[in-house]
Amino acid sequence: MRKLKAAVIGTGFIGEAHAEALRRLPYVELAAVVSRANGKEKAARLGAVAAFEDYREMIDVCRPDCVHICTPNHLHMETALYALSRGIHVICEKPLALHAEEAKKMQEAAKKSGLVHAVNFHNRYYPVIHNLRNMVQDGELGQIYTVQGGYLQDWLMYDTDFNWRILSQKSGKTRAVSDIGSHWIDLAEYVTGQRVTEVFAEFKTVHSKRKHQTPEGCREMEVDTEDLAYFMLRFDGGAVGNGAVSMVFSGKKNQTTLQVSGSKMSAEWDNEKVEQLLLGCRGETNRIFVKDPKMAHRDTASVIGYPAGHTEGFPDAFKHNFAAVYAAIRGEKPVQPFATFADGCHQMEICDKLWESARTGRWVKL
């Protein structure tokens, strides 16, 4: 079977993570990267065959089987619609779009195309997270009462920290919620098997202005997106939840935590101890489940790449996610559900409703 041709559009930090994961898939070739500057140097460094400055030219000339959209959020919709219209499968970074209306258009086009479409909610692919989902589905935690946790970073803590995500024009109405909150809420739904039905949120912007250092000098910019959000959730299966997402939490670099309580057992995960699941019991001693293909749930073993004691982290989750998507592109049934545009659209709707709740001070139904 010929190698599938992949192309990465956008070569920032996440675009490079996509490229590395693709290099680790034996039946995929990184045929092109699209970068606004230094394309040839980036192609050489990332192992891509060709470099382009324009995604349309790349698609028309290179004819990839699948594109990975790793650009700022405001370009996701136009890029995905162009690729789908030319019969090309799409993996899009989260959040899917600027807002739910754009996301709905993308989902409809993807559904109509019959092509494979995915969103990179890679947290689904940490082995112990996959195992926890299977444990919940097998009833090992019992009826799910609550889910809580959050996603904490500090890379935007200073008023001199600047990034395209700061401004709603490129990010969308929300920032912490759509950029990292979408990861956490997708993870909460994926593990519990329950869907969010109602939200209540408090947003906070700690720097109303930020200093943006440009080659022309330092510009003071008005900030119109939130630095952090604390929220509560109601789920269709009766669970309740609360989450905290912050990009200004000093000392937290990229910490994602999840605690789930059930009628039989609870489970706790921290991506800083990525291969451990703390299982909490009432009538017996608490224990720690550690990633081990020999001890894992029957389905989970297939998304484990290394034996017990050989830690798989952030890059490996990307690899396992893309392996599942490319299996679908090859017409095979992937072992576990990767996130599609439908999931990305659902998360976009939740982000918009969290924004509405933060403004109205009320619970908002989806």
Residues forming contacts to ligand SOE in the complex (CB under 6 A) are: 13-14, 153, 179-180, 254
CB nearer to ligand SOE: give 128 or 156.
156
Contacts of residue 82, Cβ cutoff 8 Å, sequence gap at least 6? 55, 56, 59
Q: How far is the CB of 307 from ligand SOE (least distance, A)?
A: 26
CB nearer to ligand SOE: give 134 or 255.
255
- Return the axis-axis angle of helices 100-113 and 76-85, rounded to nearest 10°: 10
Contacts of residue 127, Cβ cutoff 8 Å, sequence gap at least 6? 275, 291, 296, 300, 303, 304, 312
CB nearer to ligand SOE: give 21 or 109.
21
Q: How far is the CB of 156 from ligand SOE (least distance, A)?
A: 8
Q: How far is the CB of 166 from ligand SOE (least distance, A)?
A: 12
Spatial separation of the C-alpha atoms in residues 33 and 71, rounded to whole Å: 12
CB nearer to ligand SOE: give 177 or 303.
177
CB nearer to ligand SOE: give 148 or 153.
153
Which residue number has the CB closest to ligand SOE?
A: 179
Q: How far is the CB of 14 from ligand SOE (least distance, A)?
A: 6
106-111 long-range contacts, Cβ below 8 Å, gap at least 24?
106/76, 106/77, 106/80, 106/81, 106/341, 106/344, 106/345, 107/341, 107/342, 107/344, 107/345, 109/80, 109/81, 109/84, 109/85, 110/80, 110/84, 110/340, 110/341, 111/341, 111/342
Computed on alpha carbons and rounded to an integer, the radius of gyration of the chain in Å comes to: 20
What's the length of the chain? 366
Q: How far is the CB of 254 from ligand SOE (least distance, A)?
A: 6
CB nearer to ligand SOE: give 29 or 93.
93
